[in-house]
C-alpha cells in the first residue's frame, strides 16, 4: 500500500523562563508538605528543567531533590533513593508526585530525627514557563532526520524528545508521533526510539544517541 504523503515535521525550539514560587523548605518534613501541594510545573522543572539550565554535564544525581538530600541534608541513603526516580516511568506528573512523597514519607518513618539543613541551603521551589518558537526548518522525509538531528539545538532536542511526552497521545516523542503517520512503515524505528531513556543523558549525549540511531537505521 502506498504511503500517503505526510505533513512535514516542523522543527521547533524552546526556552524556559524560571520563576520563583516563594516556597522553600529547611527540613524534610517541610519539603514533603510543599511537594504535596506544589503546582505540577514545579515538579516538571525540578526533574526535567535541570537539562535546560546551568548544570554540569556529569551530575552526581539527576534531579534537584536528590541533590538537595545529599548536599544540604547530608543524607546519602535518601539521595540515592530519590536519585533513582526516573520521570520517564511516570508520564503523569501526579504519579511522579505520589512516588516522590512515598519515598520521603518512608524515609521520615525510618528517621529518628527530621533531617534538616542550614538556612543558606534551603530548598527553593522553582517553576517555569516554556516558550516554544519556530526555527523555520522542516523535515520532509524520515531519512532527512539523519542530517537534521545533529544540527538541532539542545533545547530543540529537549522539546521534541522530552517535552513531547506531555503533549502527544500515548506520551511519545515527536519523532515517533510523526513516524507513526507513515502507515506503520517505521514501527521498528519507533520501537528503537522507545528504548532511548532521555533522563540519564545530557542533551548533547541524547542528540548524539538519536543521530547514531537514525544513521544506523537509514544506513548512512
Partner 1 sequence: MTGILERYSEIVGWDVIDQLHQLAATLKGIKVVHVNSTRRGGGVAEILAKLVPLKQELGIDAKWEVIEGNEEFYTCTKNFHNALQGNKVTIPDSLLRIYEETVASNTAALETTLTGADIVFIHDPQPLPLLKLLPERKGKWIWRCHIDVSRPYRPVWKYIRSLVEGYDASIFSLSAFAQPLPHTEYLISPSIDPLSEKNIELDAGEVQEIISGFGIDQGRPIMLQVSRFDRFKDPVGVIQAFRLTKKFVPNLQLVLAGGEATDDPESTAVLKEVRLASNNDNDIHILLLPADAHRKINALQRSADIVMQKSTREGFGLTVTEAMWKGKPVIGGDTGGIRIQVVNHHTGFLVKAPEGAALRARYLLFHRNRLKEMGEKAKQFVLDNFLLTRHLREYLTVMVSLLHGRGERITLE
Q: How many CB atoms lie within 10 A of CB 84?
A: 12
Q: Does 5 sit near partner 1 (CB under 8 A)? A: no
Measured from the CB atom, is 41 or 208 closer to partner 1?
41
Q: Does 7 sit near partner 1 (CB under 8 A)? A: no
What's the min distance (Å) between Cβ of 28 and partner 1?
19
Q: Does 135 sit near partner 1 (CB under 8 A)? A: yes
Cβ atoms of 3 and 183 within 8 Å: the answer is yes
Q: Does 52 sit near partner 1 (CB under 8 A)? A: no
Site string for partner 1, 136-175 (x = CB under 8 A): x--------------x-x-x--------------------
Candidate list 80, 89, 102, 129; residue touching partner 1; CB under 8 A: 129
Candidate list 5, 58, 112, 170; residue touching partner 1; CB under 8 A: 58
What's the min distance (Å) between Cβ of 34 and partner 1?
14
Cβ atoms of 46 and 19 within 8 Å: the answer is no
The count of residues interacting with partner 1 (CB under 8 A) is 31
Q: Does 101 sit near partner 1 (CB under 8 A)? A: no
Q: Does 13 sit near partner 1 (CB under 8 A)? A: yes
Measured from the CB atom, is 155 or 211 closer to partner 1?
155
What is the SS3 assignment for the chain? CCCCCCCCEEEEEEEEEEEEEEEEECEHHHHHHHHHHCCHHHHHHHHCHHHCCCCCCCCCCCCHHHHHHHHCCCCHHHHHHHHCCCHHHCCCHHHHHHHHHHHHHHHHHHCCCCCECCHHHCEEEEEEEEEEEEEEEEECCHHHHHHHHHHCCHHHHHHHHHHHHHCCCCCCCHHHHHHCCCCCCCHHHHHHHHCCCCCCCCHHHHHHHHHHHHHHHHCC
Measured from the CB atom, is 156 or 176 closer to partner 1?
156
Q: Which residues bind partner 1 (CB under 8 A)?
A: 13, 15-20, 22, 41, 53-58, 120, 122, 124, 126, 128-136, 151, 153, 155
Amino acid at each position: 500500500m502506498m504511503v500517503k504523503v505526510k505533513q512535514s515535521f516542523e522543527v521547533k525550539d524552546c526556552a524556559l523562563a524560571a520563576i520563583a514560587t516563594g516556597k522553600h523548605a529547611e527540613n524534610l518534613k517541610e519539603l514533603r508538605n510543599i511537594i504535596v501541594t506544589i503546582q505540577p510545573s514545579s515538579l516538571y522543572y525540578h526533574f526535567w528543567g535541570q537539562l535546560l539550565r546551568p548544570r554540569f554535564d556529569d551530575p552526581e544525581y539527576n534531579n534537584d531533590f536528590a541533590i538537595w538530600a545529599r548536599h544540604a541534608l547530608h543524607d546519602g541513603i535518601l539521595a540515592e533513593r530519590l536519585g533513582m526516580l526516573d520521570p520517564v516511568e511516570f508520564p503523569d506528573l501526579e504519579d511522579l508526585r505520589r512516588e516522590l512523597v512515598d519515598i520521603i514519607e518512608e524515609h521520615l518513618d525510618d528517621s529518628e530525627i527530621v533531617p534538616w539543613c542550614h538556612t543558606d541551603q534551603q530548598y527553593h521551589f522553582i517553576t517555569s514557563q516554556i516558550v516554544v518558537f519556530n526555527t523555520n526548518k522542516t523535515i520532509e522525509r524520515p531519512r532527512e532526520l539523519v542530517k537534521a538531528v545533529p544540527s538541532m539545538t539542545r533545547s530543540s532536542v529537549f522539546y521534541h524528545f522530552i517535552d513531547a511526552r506531555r503533549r502527544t497521545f500515548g506520551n511519545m516523542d515527536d519523532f515517533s508521533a510523526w513516524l507513526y503517520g507513515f502507515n506503520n512503515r517505521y514501527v521498528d524505528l519507533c520501537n528503537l526510539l522507545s528504548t532511548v531513556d532521555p533522563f540519564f543523558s545530557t542533551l548533547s549525549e541524547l542528540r548524539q544517541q538519536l543521530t547514531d540511531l537514525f544513521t544506523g537505521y537509514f544506513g548512512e
